[in-house]
Amino acid sequence: MTDPQMTLSPEAMDRLMPMHVWLTKTGEVRRVGPTLQKLRPETPMVGRRFLDIFEVRRPRRANSHKALLGLEGTPVHLVFHDAPMTALKGMVVKLNGGQDVLINLSFGISVVDAVAEYGLTLGDFAVTDLTVEMLYLVEAKAAVMNELRSLNNRLQGAKIVAEEQAFTDTLTGLKNRRAMDFLMARLIEASQPFSVMHLDLDFFKVVNDSFGHAAGDHVLQHVAQVLIDETRSEDIVVRFGGDEFVLIFDGLVDAARLNAIALRIIEQLEVPIPFNGETCRISASIGTALSTQYDVPDVEQMLHDADMALYTSKRTGRARVTMAHGAGQVTEPPEDIAFVQ
């Protein structure tokens, strides 16, 4: 019994083999699948010689149409002659008694790059093509990776916020003591010269007792802004606790300049501060220590010496600055000037 001949309509071929190419007995393209043509949308393939469009990389002997006819049932590896030189794999089948050739092509493992390069979708592949399963996996992986990246970004953002909050005074927005210890330790580790200015508000308790804690908070926020305005962007302003502040001057160890900064701060803080129809009056006493005054700077020692200098300023009249000279030594300021070098 003779087997019946099966005939496929062009539409059926396009659906089953969207990347096929049908060659005539002379090697011209008789028909091309829609997905394969989509790879070269500006250059119709029908009517052109197949070997003018593609280079057969393997087998190397397939450099003519006659050679292609001899490759029935053999896998072939092709690339486009022009860029992008996308790699394709296919199988050669003879048609019409061996006169014509049908080659059904696929991207193989390069499908992901091809999809991105040509903007292909699932509709460009036969539903039975295993490539579709790979694309589903790729899309699922991409979705998972995007979600992981998004989650990681949220976690990093939360970490940054948490770290910033851990180092920040909530009332004033300044750095807190924890941040100060960390920053000073880094400067010492890097052998970077710096200075520490310890500031305590004069008459702050009077403000709290007279006008309440809301007024006190307002004054502290005002002081924080003054300290930021009177220092450089690279300097660190810390709320040390209560009505005490510490200023860290990275790279600045010139006593005259530091005293000038301290005097400007004192002058600005003596300006009356209005609050709810009342007037709050404060001043500031300051003590300063330089890292260059120590053979080996130490955070606690520098803070102790700046604190001693601060209370020398308090004891000798307030609203003045005293410079420490290392190892617990300070010079008391004369009564007629506000600082001593």
For the chain, the straight-line distance linking the first and the last C-alpha, in angstroms and rounded, comes to 118
Q: Residue type for 243, please?
A: D
C-alpha dihedral (127, 129, 131, 136), degrees to nearest 10: 30
pLDDT of 160 reads 52
pLDDT digits (tens, 9 = 90+) for 1-23: 555 666 778 888 888 889 899 98
Q: What pLDDT does residue 339 have?
A: 39
CA geometry: angle at 275 spanning 274 and 278, to 5°? 75
Alpha helices in the chain, H assignment, sequence order: 10-16, 34-38, 50-53, 65-69, 111-118, 130-166, 177-189, 204-211, 213-229, 255-269, 299-315
Cis ω for the linkage preceding 334 (within 30 of 0)? no
What is d(CA 334, CA 337) in angstroms, rounded to the nearest whole number? 6
The contacts found for 32-36 with CB under 8 angstroms, 24 or more apart, are: 34/124, 35/120, 35/124, 35/125, 36/105
Looking at residue 337, its pLDDT comes to 38
If pLDDT is split at 50, 70 and 90, which confidence band does 246 have?
very high
Q: What is the pLDDT of residues 136-176, one digit of tens each?
A: 666 666 677 777 787 777 766 656 555 555 779 999 999 99
- C-alpha 307/C-alpha 196 separation (Å) is 10
Per-residue model confidence as pLDDT tens digits over 173-222: 999 998 999 999 999 999 999 999 999 999 999 999 999 999 999 999 99
pLDDT at 5: 66
H helices of 3-110, where? 10-16, 34-38, 50-53, 65-69
pLDDT bracket for residue 95 (50, 70, 90): confident
Euclidean distance between CA atoms 24 and 47, whole angstroms: 9
pLDDT digits (tens, 9 = 90+) for 125-143: 887 776 666 666 666 666 7
Q: How far is 121 from 98, CA to CA, in rounded Å?
A: 34
Contact between 274 and 211 (Cβ < 8 Å):
no
Return d(Cα 163, Cα 109) in angstroms, integer: 45
251-282 core/surface letters (b: 16 or more CB in 10 A; e: else): ebeebeebbebbbebbebbeeebebeeeebeb
